[in-house]
Amino acid sequence: MLATMVTLLLLWPNPAKADTHQFSLSIEDTIVTLVDKQTFHTFSFNGQTPGPLIHVVEGDEIEVEVENNTTLPHTIHWHGLYQRGTWKNDGVPDTTQAAIAPGETFTYRFVAAPSGTMWYHCHVNVNEHVAMRGMWGPLIIDPKEPLPVEKEVTKDYIMMFSSWVSNWASKPGQGGIPGDEPDYFTVNGKSFPDTQPLRITKGDVVRIRLIGAGDELHSIHIHGHTFDVIAKDGRPLVNPYPADTILLGPGERYDLILRADNPGLWMVHDHIDRHTVNGKSPMGGIMTVIEYTEIPLAEQSFYKWKDKKFAPDFFYEESLKKPHGMHENEGFQGIPAP
């Protein structure tokens, strides 16, 4: 451990300027609700799916103590990070470490680099733990020198996509095998109509950070706007390109910039149509609505969700405004598994 610390010290170009963060993540057996009465047994980070937001600055020194309170082995991989000089902190069982056994603790130490939209997830039996047990959370690393367009951003949202096979909902340690038929589809762990709207105002410069956290592809369409794709996998694109639909594979991230110039109520959804069901019921899954504050919802008689209770941190938009650090999100909390 001392050797690792020395290595880290040598790596930091401006040690005086880098912040140090110490976080604790416990892995728990947790029951979450995807939508309506559909519950699912997850291995959660601090009891929530998706996991807490980790939000730091490029070059910050990170220490994460992980405690495994489940009955199965796990690790945490920090997807997209360089781990320069710290490869044994990359979180791959049998390759960079022994998996963290039930009841044990492991501390990851690394520098936050490169900047961008990253994420963390378990790397043990990913076909079950990542594809279907909700073992993922967002890791946002702010650049030391943001792009001009990033300085314009007024609203910042994170969307993590995943799919679920209800047959395995109550059978932890099983599933994620050939023949599985995903039948629930979520953004930040919830299916429509239990997702939340994105509330924006004309003039907003909206960044949406898409993260392919599950096992299905998603073809995300935003109505009424052209957005610019400004980054892939957290890395800025020299040539952003415009689109209204973007295809996202597992593990990929895309940062979109949408300039709010068109007040209305606009659907945002997966255009893979089979991902807009809840079980066998249509008009669910990966769907939500952009609500411009200029539109008086109460007057829209046809708008079915006009009286829905608003949870402002659903896309981590409140958490992203807090000081750098790790932030839990009450709305994503499940209950301890019996």
Q: Which is nearer to its own copies, 148 or 179 (CB)?
A: 179
Q: Does 58 bind its own copies (CB under 8 A)?
A: no
Write down the least CB distance from residue 79 to its own copies, Å.
Answer: 7
C-beta of residue 86 within 8 angstroms of C-beta of residue 13: no
Query: The tokens of 35 are what?
Result: 């939508």
Residue 289 binds its own copies, judged by CB under 8 A: yes
CA 333 to each of CA 42, 168, 258, 336: distance values in angstroms, whole numbers, following the listed order = 11, 20, 30, 9
Contact at 8 Å (CB) between 134 and 52? no
Neighbours of 55 (CB within 10 A): 24
Selected range binding its own copies among 9-17, 51-59, 296-304, 317-325, rule: CB under 8 A: 296-304
Out of 252, 317, 318, 328, the only residue in the binding site for its own copies (CB under 8 A) is 252
Question: Cα(297)–Cα(317) distance, rounded to whole angstroms?
Answer: 21
Of 157 and 266, CB closest to its own copies: 266
Kindly report whether the peptide bond that precedes residue 263 is cis, defined as omega within 30 degrees of 0. no
One residue of 143, 263, 325, 331 binding its own copies per CB under 8 A: 263
If binding is defined by CB under 8 A, does position 209 make contact with its own copies?
Answer: no
Show the binding pattern over residues 210-229: x = contacts its own copies (CB under 8 A), - = does not. Answer: --x--x-x-x-x-xxxx---
- Considering only residues 9 to 38 of the shown chain, the ones binding its own copies according to CB under 8 A are none
Work out whether 304 is an interface residue with its own copies (CB under 8 A): yes
Residues 160-179 touching its own copies, rule: CB under 8 A, are: 176-179
The nearer residue to its own copies, 289 or 320, going by C-beta atoms, is: 289
Q: Are 284 and 191 in contact (CB under 8 A)?
A: yes
Radius of gyration of the chain from its Cα atoms, rounded to whole angstroms: 20
Q: Rounded CA gap, 223 and 54, in Å? A: 30
Candidate residues 232, 308, 324, 327; the one interacting with its own copies per rule CB under 8 A: 232
Verify binding: residue 137, its own copies, rule CB under 8 A. no
271-308 in b/e form (b: 16+ CB < 10 A) is: ebeebbbbeeeeebbbbbbbbbeeeeeeeeeeeebeeb
Q: Which of residues 60-119 bind its own copies (CB under 8 A)?
A: 77, 79-84, 87-88, 90, 92-98, 114
Q: Residue 22 or residue 245: which is nearer to its own copies going by CB?
A: 245
Contact between 134 and its own copies (CB under 8 A)?
A: no
Q: Which of residues 178-197 bind its own copies (CB under 8 A)?
A: 178-183
Provide CB contacts within 8 A for 237, sequence distance 6+: 229, 230, 231
